[in-house]
Amino acid sequence: MADGLGTAKQVGAQPDGIATMAHRGLTYPLGDPPLPGQAVTVAPGVLWLRLPLPMSLNHINVYAVRDGDGWSVIDTGVNLADSRAAWDMALAGPLEGRPVRRVICTHMHPDHIGLAGWLCARFDAPLVMTRLEYVTGRMLLADTGRPAPEDAVPFLRAAGWDADRIETWRREFGQFGRIVAPLPSGFRRMSEGDVIRIGTGDWRVVIGQGHSPEHACLWNEAQGLLLGGDQILPRISSNVSVFPTEPDADPLGDWLASLERMKALLPDELLVLPSHGEPFIGVQPRLDALIRGHHTALKRLERTLCQPSRAIDVFPALFARPVGDGVVGMATGEALAHLNYLEQRGRVSRTRDADGVDWWLATAQPRDIIDGETA
């Protein structure tokens, strides 16, 4: 933990006298997370900061990398007063009053780009993103305040939503911009394999898909660091969802393929700097666990689909806790991601009834599914 307001504690990679924690094959070498406005130094010129989020996942980690006489910052938090105040403290404290030279966002979700426009305007700094993430973020900002699109209603009805739930969705549509400051009208593009020079270090862009369209991780091979965003989290698996904008998408297929590519690329001794949770060592067992977890969920789902079911009926097969009203949208999207994955591989079928509701059914014999294989 930071020693006090405006200071950062140097912990490095398991120096003498710093205890480490190990859990499920992962090692957490950095100790307690920083408080808002404080920072932990994870490597020379690389700071870990943490900002509050107004939800059950109550924080986001952001990072600052020394860039000449200033900083490049990676991800930003949401556009709320608490987050802006934390940035003000960090900029005056551990960032030493130095300017932000670049704002790099791993992807377009509000907790990652919420204050990107605010920081870019404040420091006249460019925004760096992948193209699909920038364009998707601009699209979602354009939805803010407009009426819910009626052509999305059949998608929700097909998933099993009733009239009351659809009406709630109509009322709550277009909330993206409530916690995202306007983005700059232009950006600097990063793509798979690009090498971004930040200060004296080179960071290679590694793209993941599934959680978002073109999620960027940044890998500093010389320092053994990976800025992992939401692609590789230590304790939870990122949401992978299907949306009305692309109802036949296969984001789970994209997600699993991305994890397999990273398994073939990334060395296990990396220190992963994630967006949620704590920095950890053990990228290979974590990738294995993420892949295994989804395949286990797919097997449970096929067992459930021995009898026809709607998307909203399969939540217990996929989630360890009850799905409340506040997360039913994400749960529905993730259920459909798993169902689309199985359908596109011939393992389930769906039939739409006269009310516009989709009923899903496994194509394998029940005994084959129970044995853990499909015919």
Radius of gyration of the chain (CA): 22
Query: pLDDT tens-digit profile of 52-61?
Result: 999 889 999 9
Exposed/middle/buried for residue 315 (C-beta within 10 Å: 0-12, 13-18, 19+): middle
pLDDT of 373 higher than 70: no
Query: Across the strands, what pairs with 142?
Result: none
Q: Quick one: pLDDT band at residue 245, thresholds 50, 70, 90?
A: very high
Mean pLDDT in residue range 324-351:
96
| 259: enclosing H helix or E strand | helix 251-265
Asked if 311 and 362 count as a contact pair (C-beta separation under 8 A), the reply is no
- Picking from 56, 54, 93, 98, the residue whose alpha carbon sits closest to that of residue 73 is 98
Q: Quick one: pLDDT band at residue 23, thresholds 50, 70, 90?
A: low
pLDDT of 115 higher than 80: yes
Q: Quick one: pLDDT band at residue 375, thresholds 50, 70, 90?
A: very low
> What angle separates helix 251-265 from helix 328-343, to the nearest 10 degrees?
80
Q: What is the mean pLDDT of the chain?
A: 91
Asked if 86 and 37 count as a contact pair (C-beta separation under 8 A), the reply is yes
Asked if 179 and 53 count as a contact pair (C-beta separation under 8 A), the reply is no
Mean pLDDT in residue range 342-352:
97
Q: So what's the pLDDT on residue 281?
A: 98
- Picking from 115, 45, 125, 108, the residue whose alpha carbon sits closest to that of residue 86 is 115
pLDDT of 13 higher than 60: no
- Picking from 29, 99, 32, the residue whose alpha carbon sits closest to that of residue 71 is 99
Query: pLDDT tens-digit profile of 202-240?
Result: 999 999 999 999 999 999 999 999 999 999 999 999 999
* Residue labelled with tokens 């590519």: 261
Q: So what's the pLDDT on residue 122?
A: 98
pLDDT of 108 higher than 80: yes
Q: Quick one: pLDDT band at residue 4, thresholds 50, 70, 90?
A: very low
Q: So what's the pLDDT on residue 320?
A: 86
Residue 142 makes CB contacts below 8 A (sequence gap 6+) with none
- Picking from 212, 186, 201, 213, the residue whose alpha carbon sits closest to that of residue 120 is 186
> What angle separates helix 283-304 from helix 251-265, to the nearest 10 degrees?
150
- Picking from 111, 118, 125, 135, the residue whose alpha carbon sits closest to that of residue 229 is 111
Q: Is the pTM of this model over 0.85?
A: yes
Asked if 205 and 196 count as a contact pair (C-beta separation under 8 A), the reply is yes
Q: So what's the pLDDT on residue 325?
A: 86
* Residue labelled with tokens 């600097």: 188
| 304: enclosing H helix or E strand | helix 283-304
Q: So what's the pLDDT on residue 6?
A: 28
How many Å apart are CA 32 and CA 30, to the nearest integer? 7
| 51: enclosing H helix or E strand | strand 46-52
How many Å apart are CA 286 and CA 26, to the nearest integer? 7
3-state helix, strand, coil in the chain (%, to 5): 35, 25, 45
Q: So what's the pLDDT on residue 22?
A: 56
pLDDT of 36 higher than 60: yes
How many Å apart are CA 104 and CA 88, to the nearest integer? 18
Asked if 86 and 57 count as a contact pair (C-beta separation under 8 A), the reply is no
Query: pLDDT tens-digit profile of 131-143?
Result: 999 999 999 999 9
pLDDT of 119 higher than 90: yes
Edge-to-edge order in the sheet of strand 100-104? 8-10, 39-43, 46-52, 59-67, 70-74, 100-104, 127-129, 188-189
3-state secondary structure of 12: coil
Q: So what's the pLDDT on residue 143?
A: 93
Q: So what's the pLDDT on residue 302?
A: 96
3-state secondary structure of 17: coil
Percent of the chain with pLDDT over 70: 91
Q: DSSP string of 163-212?
A: HHHHHHHHHH-S-GGGGSPPPPS--EE--TT-EEEETTEEEEEEEE-SSS
How many Å apart are CA 217 and CA 232, to the nearest integer? 9
Query: Across the strands, what pairs with 204?
Result: 195, 219
How many Å apart are CA 226 and CA 65, to the nearest integer? 12
